[in-house]
Amino acid sequence: MKTNEIMEKSEQYVLHTYNRYPVALDHGKGVRLYDAEGKEYLDFAAGIAVFALGYGNETYNRTLKDQVDKLIHTSNLYYNEPMAEAAQKLVAASGMDKVFFTNSGTEAIEGALKAARKYAYLRDNSNDHEIIAMNHSFHGRSMGALSVTGNTHYQDPFRPLIGGIRFADFNDLDSVKAQVTEKTCAIILETVQGEGGIYPADPEFLKGVKELCEEKDILLILDEIQCGMGRTGSMFAWQAYGVEPDIMTCAKALGCGIPVGAFVMNKKVAEHSLVPGDHGTTYGGNPLACAAVSAVFDIFDQEKIVEHVQEAGAYLEQRLDGLVEKYEFLSARRGKGLMQGLVVAGRPVGEIVKKAIENGLLVITAGADVLRMVPPLVITKADVDEMIEKLEKSF
């Protein structure tokens, strides 16, 4: 079908909860996507930080094709080899203890919140605990995840949300301390805020929050759904800070296109929280999704993806800093590795995104004024140079 036909059919039958750009993508190769008419786009969005390995990775595709022919689903009533392998690799990469596989990042957040509250319940037999979240955060759109998302624009139409949530300011330790009460059971934050505008945590802030949690037996939940899986130059962003969470959520690049997420916990939480009957999922941990996860970790290791991100990320930062110096309407660059944002002042950032699409470049926004770049992790310096050229043309 042509783009117009695809758009018309989608608008007729798909609930209109997204204001999509007038592009119907058909296939991809490497770091490039092609629409229904064959137009080429350099992809610096990666399906919102999902397709870390680019399009058409032979090892990844072959693994999925083989698993489809073997076994796709069993439910969690039985064991399966891909889930065991994927869990082992995720534990090894994180240095944590136990994994629960979900279908999405939002579901991972839900599980993390339940685990934190169950931990506190077992500790003091009380069920009136509170969780501290951050202003301008984003954790998902289900009722639990929305409750810890620090943006009233997303929350207001769906109140009342779950109770016992307090909000503090990101990168302001005193603000966090001011929200702590005897009821606080967990603090949840993104190691690098994504939708809120690409804000990395300050090292002193993250270490201070960790010390606070250890002092008061509060669980630290780090949301690595967007910033994890190599994107910032370490397998998980928190590893560069030397601050280990009690619970971590991940998704997006965990499956590189297959819908899968996970929450991972340390030994303390694993031994004193969820037990059979507390949490479940029909599709979570199914053989197809976990075969993808397992292949992703293998490819990351074989192709030294994290090391490549360190080099490519440094070059991208350098080129973006050059744009900030050159253009007055760009007021700052923020980010780590291949999770970068340009702060746009005095003109609508959405107009730049539209112009970029016309020029064969896919970039996205974050917050109200940030141009976000979260490309496949396999981009080269030549891809960065081409992106800069297309972006300047769009300016």
DSSP state of 47: H
Contact 119, 266 (CB under 8 A): no
Give the single-character DSSP code of 231.
Answer: T
On whether the CB atoms of residues 341 and 373 are closer than 8 A, the answer is yes
CA–CA distances in Å: residue 108 to residues 277, 320, 367? 17, 33, 23
Identify whether the C-beta of residue 345 lies closer than 8 Å to the C-beta of residue 369. Answer: yes
Query: What integer pLDDT is reported at residue 18 of this predicted model?
Result: 95
Alpha-carbon 333 to chain mean position? 20
Instruction: Tell which residue, 382, 234, 384, 225, has the closest CA to residue 309.
Output: 234
In the chain the domains, ranked by start, together with CATH numbers, are 3-57+304-394 (3.90.1150.10), 71-302 (3.40.640.10)
Check: CB of residue 28 under 8 Å from CB of residue 55.
yes
Return the biggest CA–CA distance within the chain: 62
- One digit per residue, the tens of pLDDT, for the chain of length 395 reads 999 999 999 999 999 999 999 999 999 999 999 999 999 999 999 999 999 999 999 999 999 999 999 999 999 999 999 999 999 999 999 999 999 999 999 999 999 999 999 999 999 999 999 999 999 999 999 999 999 999 999 999 999 999 999 999 999 999 999 999 999 999 999 999 999 999 999 999 999 999 999 999 999 999 999 999 999 999 999 999 999 999 999 999 999 999 999 999 999 999 999 999 999 999 999 999 999 999 999 999 999 999 999 999 999 999 999 999 999 999 999 999 999 999 999 899 999 999 999 999 999 999 999 999 999 999 999 999 999 999 999 99
Q: Are 229 and 66 in contact (CB under 8 A)?
A: no
Which pLDDT score, from 0 to 100, does residue 346 have? 86
User: CA dist 229 to 49, 71, 236, 274, 300, Å?
Assistant: 10, 26, 6, 25, 9
User: Tokens for 318?
Assistant: 């350098």
* Burial (0-12, 13-18, 19+ Cβ within 10 Å), 46: buried
145 DSSP 8-state letter:
H
What are the CA-CA distances from residue 116 to residues 127, 183, 248 (Å)? 11, 12, 11
Instruction: Decide: 227 and 191 in contact? Cβ < 8 Å.
Output: yes
The strand pair at 364-366 and 370-373 is best described as antiparallel
CA 141 to chain centre: 14
Other Cβ atoms closer than 10 A to 247: 28
How many whole angstroms separate alpha carbon 61 and alpha carbon 209? 41
Contact 52, 258 (CB under 8 A): no
pLDDT at res. 196: 95
* Runs of H (alpha helix) within 187-304: 203-216, 267-271, 287-302
Q: How far is Cα 342 from Cα 333, in angstroms, rounded to an integer?
A: 5
pTM, 2 dp = 0.97
3-state SS, residue 50: coil
Using CA atoms of 65, 66, 72, 74 in order, give the dihedral in degrees to the nearest 10.
-170
Residue 355 corresponds to which tokens in the numbers above?
A: 């112009």
What would the DSSP string read from start to end of 277-330? TS---SSTT-HHHHHHHHHHHHHHHHTTHHHHHHHHHHHHHHHHHHHHHH-TTE
β-pairing, 219-223 with 184-190? parallel
Query: Residue 142: is it exposed, middle or buried by C-beta count within 10 angstroms (0-12/13-18/19+)?
Result: middle
Rounded to a whole number of angstroms, the distance between the first and last alpha carbons of the chain is: 32
